[in-house]
Chain A
Amino acid sequence: MMKSLCKVPLFAFALLILLSSSVFAANLPLLDYTGNFNYLYSHQECNSWKNNGSCNGYATVYDNKLTFPSFNITGGNYSNGSYFGDGTDAITNAYFEIGNLFNSSSPNNLQFDDTAGAGGAPVSFSITDGTNTFMTGTLGNFAVTDDFFGTNLYFGSVTSVTYNSSAPYSQYVEELKLTDEPFNLDMNFSFYTGPSGSGNAFTANSTGTVGGKLAAGLPSVVPEPISTILFITGGVTLMLRRYAKNINI
């Protein structure tokens, strides 16, 4: 009797985890990219000058600015799953242009938008080859996690997209037009300088490289990390109640 009771919550629990995993297959088409980032937390500015023009005193200016000196689209996968590499689609000659992103001090160091401090707006987002702009839009929900899996943007949201009909033909772009917004930008940060891990990313001047993808649309279930933890703790609670009921019997 007790063993059959145990199997029910375990099976349901396992099914929850399996279902959560299976809905994460990439939404196609998608673009792969690499790039570099530069986070300027603060710098020193002269605020007092001597008569001879040299500086008499400095103050700390807090910038809290995240920029991307370079992006490179390296390839991707079309809607049928086939991979296209560098040079096989016009989009691989292009790169992302992202507006300046700002955060504020801990505990808000992992949230970015167009102004320092909370409650800002999305920033500009475009894909261009320097001569032709393939598409423009806005990038929002730039919320980074910084944990065991590294420093990651999971669900950056690209919306309000307009396409340039004069841009070179790109099978990727034509397929993307057939999908619905928002498009999902993810980004993994690898730090050359500056702290990261345990939520400490972007609390000091930092540099490094980024990589990730732009995928068509969000997954059909969006399990933010806290939701996943709630699934697990909810499942544990369910089992505890069943065992408590079993003991009382």
Chain B
Amino acid sequence: MKEDIIMGRLKIYLMFSMLILAMGVGSAWGIVGLPTANFSGNAKTTAPTDTDPGSLTLVNNADTNKFTTISQVNYLDGSSRTVNNTNDINVNNRESIIGKQVTISGATRTGTAGTTFTNAVITVSDGTFNYFSATLSNIMFVLNPADGKYYLNPGLDINNPATLNMTNVVFNTDEPHPSRYINELKGVAATSGALGMKMILQIISGNFTGDSTSDISVGLLDGTPLPTVTPPAGARSMGFWKNHDEERNSFIGKAVYMSNVFNTENELNEYLSRNGKKTMDQKAMQQLAALMLNVASSLPLSTELTAGELQILQQLDPAAVTGATVEDALCAIEQAIIAGTNLDDAKDLADEINNRDHKS
């Protein structure tokens, strides 16, 4: 009997140790999807009392001028913004969401561990106008013994539906409150309606299971829902995009959105699929179509050009120097096509970039 009790307790302790050790084994692939928004500020928890279960809120106090706000947005094309631009000549480019307040309301303590909260509502607003609101669920913080911080949804991954903890999402913009971020988010969230959020809190004072104030070390709103097709590994050739219908159809919408030349998916498809003898501008458009699909799927605009690619870019833009990026090349190619000049160099540059990752 004594031995049975001992063995039973030993099993519990060993299982506890294995659980801690298992924390070292994470997911095999954790991807967040553009567009995303970072937010920063402070979070507060209150201790449970006889009449109040205690709660989790984000600090937004006009009296003390302390707010939890959107600090950065990261668009579909990979570019980022940390300052609003409500007067951009391109209406689609205007942004006003930077610096707007992020609030969590209705998150009350539940369970016995002191680190779990009920479903809540998360909003992004200027106090009167809501840009974004959603139901935030699965609010379970986990203490990381390595750094002492509390992690919410650290495994956020667009390939794992269990980590998409924001549902019932509502978007708003209007003329006084333009937001390219919200418009892009609306476009990609349409297919599933579920988005993800992760947060890492660093205790400043108090105890997380009671009254506490934390610094939001990381706050991230994730964008893209589950992709229907895995992006190809690296840039792919014009021939690949021409012959792989499923991949092309998965990324053509984003490619057209990012393009200054192609206005519709049909137009991009038409140029991409053209066979037989082609004029130089048709060849350039064909390679540009493939390049847009690469940029939309797996080739970041911030990618630095190789020496060979730079050499061709300098035929289009003599001012280009080492460190020039795919975005610089794309801009030069589009300008050449729009102007109808240096079309052979534009074609060669797009072709060179399209084939950069799969050369023999």
Contact = CB atoms under 8 A, between A and B. Distances in A.
A225 B24 contact: yes
B281 to A, nearest CB: 21
Interface string B201-221: 011110000000101111110
B300 interface: yes
Contacts of A145: 146
A225 B147 CA distance: 8
A169 B237 CA distance: 53
A45 B6 contact: no
Contacts of A204: 233
B256 to A, nearest CB: 20
Interface in A40-84: 40, 43-46, 55, 57-58, 69-70, 72, 74-77, 81-83
B3 interface: yes
Contact of A233 (B17, B154, B303): B17
A32 to B, nearest CB: 5
Given A25-B203, A192-B34, A212-B218, A246 B146 contact: no
Nearest to B325: A69
A23 B360 CA distance: 55
Contacts, number: 231
B26 A149 contact: yes
Contacts of A239: 10, 13
Contacts of A70: 80, 82
Given A86-B69, A150-B26, A228-B146, 19 more contacts: A17-B145, A24-B148, A32-B40, A32-B215, A38-B302, A43-B306, A45-B307, A86-B71, A149-B144, A152-B147, A191-B32, A192-B31, A196-B31, A197-B27, A198-B26, A200-B29, A208-B32, A229-B20, A229-B21
Interface of B: 2-3, 5-6, 9-10, 13-14, 16-17, 20-34, 36, 38, 40-42, 59, 65-67, 69, 71-72, 74, 78, 80, 82, 99, 142-149, 151, 154-156, 198, 200, 202-205, 213, 215-220, 222, 231, 233-234, 298, 300, 302-304, 306-308, 352, 356-357, 359-360
27 contacts: A24-B149, A25-B203, A25-B205, A32-B217, A35-B72, A44-B306, A44-B359, A58-B359, A70-B80, A75-B41, A77-B204, A85-B65, A85-B67, A147-B26, A148-B25, A148-B27, A149-B26, A149-B142, A154-B146, A190-B156, A192-B33, A193-B31, A197-B28, A197-B29, A211-B38, A225-B145, A243-B10
Interface of A: 2, 6, 17, 20-21, 23-26, 28, 30, 32, 34-36, 38, 40, 43-46, 55, 57-58, 69-70, 72, 74-77, 81-83, 85-86, 88, 145-152, 154, 186, 188, 190-193, 195-198, 200, 204-205, 207-209, 211-213, 219, 223-225, 228-229, 232-233, 236, 239-240, 243, 246-247
